[in-house]
Amino acid sequence: MEKTACAKIEEAVVQFAAEGSLVERRPYGNGHINDTFLLVYEMPDGTKKQYILQRMNHEIFRNPQQLMENIVNVTTYLREMIVSQGGEPDRETLNVVKTRSGENYYQDSDGNYWRLFLFIERTICLEKVESAEDFYDSAVAFGNFQRMLADYPAETLHETIPNFHHTPSRFLAFQRAVREDKLGRAASVKAEIEFALAREKDTFVLTDLLAAGQLPLRVTHNDTKLNNILFDESSRKALCIIDLDTVMPGLSHYDFGDSIRFGASTGEEDEKDLSRVELDLSLFEVFTKGYLEGCGGRLTDKEIEMLPMGAKLMTYECGIRFLADHLEGDVYFKIHRDGHNLDRARTQFKLVADMEAKWDAMRAITEKYKNR
Ligand code: ADP
Ligand code: GN1
Ligand code: MG
């Protein structure tokens, strides 16, 4: 956390309509983007109530007002569905707590944007896949998310980061970072740069199919890492999808692919020993099965056929984003050690190469579930 950016946390905390008196406040979670804090309040009867306070990263999300409008609208919609299905609306979706003056967020006197969510109690957040069953549950949950929002009017959502998963645009940004080479790091990562440049043709595949009307535009989450799902502590079932900053119109491949990139890898996103990083085909299968079940038959045959390309492109795209950030001086993703973004880029490229080696098997798996 940058000290200066969060200097106004005390000013921010008191703006929200939280109940009770504040007894604890500490940094929380492992996100790469926002600054997240846990707030614990004590009620007059001694019981505790917890909240999540976040300083939104407004260098990345340029229009926090529109972003919060998306989140409030989508979570209100989901909340109604959860209520009508007899679920637990305070735990199965994020809930925005308004400011005392009824706003969705607070802008402090330094210009930082803050928001408050109900803390989702009795959950666990997994930083890596611990069992095939967890991964299957996460797949069903992301599929369900897709299905629940299938009739949501996508055109009313703001694009919180333009061209977020538009891989050709990401490729151009990557080329620019190589060309500018602001920190003189390009010479030391030649092999990685060449790996990325050699795959330029792939970057157009999904966006061309979308433009040709062969893939449908949907409401997608766009950041479906495993740690953006909370699991119920006692049942260990996927309970709530969080981190809705990038909910926007997109392709189902973005959600499917990003989950595979993160969860079906045998290594962590920043593993230094690349011999430990591979695509686990059995996890790929488990996720494909769960995601398609969760989507409830809504994906078209063409969408299903292209799922392996979604996995490969999301992994590749994340790799070029990490590498571009390494070249630009680590200005986007939070890093915790020197070369962190380079390590991350290397795992992504290792995974891409392994997907290419396992391509026929990936295709066979999606075919198998297409015909069910
Ligand atoms: P980032 O965009 O930085 O990844 P997230 O919104 O994903 O930020 O939040 C970071 C972490 O905080 C999550 O991975 C999760 O562990 C925790 N978290 C976020 N919102 C909640 C919530 N409402 N209840 C409980 N934990 C939460
Ligand atoms: C960021 O916010 P977080 O940590 O869930 C990033 C994703 C990347 C991911 C890589 C808004 O996700 O796009 O895939 O890091 N989010 C944004 O770990 O850029
Ligand atoms: Mg997150």
**What's the pLDDT tens digit per position in 172-221?**
999 999 999 999 999 999 999 999 999 999 999 999 999 999 999 999 99
Residue 365's nearest CA partner among 310, 314, 304, 316 is 304
Q: What's the mean pLDDT in 227-245? A: 97
Ligand 2 pocket check for 128: Cβ under 6 Å = no
Q: List 125's β-bridge partners, or say none.
A: none
Average pLDDT, the chain: 96
**What's the pLDDT tens digit per position in 280-294?**
999 999 999 999 999
Q: What's the mean pLDDT in 214-235? A: 96
Confidence tier at 234 by pLDDT (50, 70, 90): very high
Ligand nearest to the CA of 244: 1
Residues above pLDDT 70, as percent of the chain: 98
Ligand 2 pocket check for 315: Cβ under 6 Å = no
Whether pLDDT at 1 is above 60: no
Whether pLDDT at 4 is above 70: no
Collapsing DSSP states into helix, strand and coil, what is residue 11? helix
Q: What's the mean pLDDT in 219-228? A: 96
Residue 41's nearest CA partner among 11, 2, 14 is 14
Residues above pLDDT 90, as percent of the chain: 94
**What's the pLDDT tens digit per position in 114-160?**
999 999 999 999 999 999 999 999 999 999 999 999 999 999 999 99
Q: What spacing in Å lies between the alpha carbon of 332 and ligand 2's midpoint?
A: 10
User: What's the CA dihedral at 143, 149, 155, 157 to 10 degrees?
Assistant: -90
**Which ligand 2 atom minimizes the distance to the CA of 30?**
4
Number of other residues whose CB lies within 10 A of the CB of residue 279: 25
Which residues contact ligand 1 via a Cβ below 6 A? Answer: 28-34, 36, 52, 94, 117, 119-120, 125, 227-228, 230, 242-243, 245
Place of tokens 């602001």: 182
Ligand 2 pocket check for 317: Cβ under 6 Å = no
Residue 329's nearest CA partner among 186, 190, 123, 119 is 186
Question: Which residue has its alpha carbon closest to ligand 2 atom 15?
Answer: 32
Ligand nearest to the CA of 160: 2
Element (H, E) at 54: strand 48-56
Whether pLDDT at 92 is above 50: yes
Whether pLDDT at 55 is above 50: yes
Confidence tier at 30 by pLDDT (50, 70, 90): confident
Helices (DSSP H) in 149-213: which residue ranges? 167-180, 190-197, 205-211
Q: Give the DSSP letter string of 213-262.
A: TSS--EEE-S---GGGEEEETTT--EEEE--GGG-EEE-HHHHHHHHHHH
Whether pLDDT at 39 is above 70: yes
What is the value of pTM for the model shown? Answer: 0.94
Question: Which residue has its alpha carbon closest to ligand 1 atom 22?
Answer: 119
Ligand 2 pocket check for 134: Cβ under 6 Å = no
Helix axes 307-328, 190-197, angle to 10 degrees: 140
